[in-house]
Amino acid sequence: MTFESFQTSLADAELPVELSPYLSALWHEAAGDWDKAHQIVQDIETVEASAIHAYLHRKEGDESNARYWYGRAGRSFPTGKTLDEEWKTLVNEFL
């Protein structure tokens, strides 16, 4: 799957079946279901899930919680990067 096909799939009513849990969470968030995205990553104990968890809390506006999860992911809080840019970076990272 390419970034373009992933992005195009957001117009579909159903999640593509071949997606990893990481991409599934990012898909649900972009499709407007923050809660489903959060539900997917909150119980996965990997640095990759922590990076998405951080992004979700940043998107939510909970900066202190986001900073905690960026720390768990071994990443810095992305100052100067828009949420859209961060989402694109994460999607490309997991494709």
Indicate the domain borders of the chain. 31-95
Tell me, what's the pLDDT at 29? 97
Identity at 81, one-letter amino acid code: K
Q: How confident is the model at residue 54 (pLDDT cuts 50, 70, 90)?
A: very high
Tell me, what's the pLDDT at 70? 98
Identity at 74, one-letter amino acid code: G
Considering Cα of 59, then 87, then 7, then 48, what sign does the dihedral take?
Answer: negative
- What's the whole-model pTM score? 0.94
CB of 16 within 8 A of CB of 1?
yes
3-state secondary structure of 61: coil
Tell me, what's the pLDDT at 17? 86
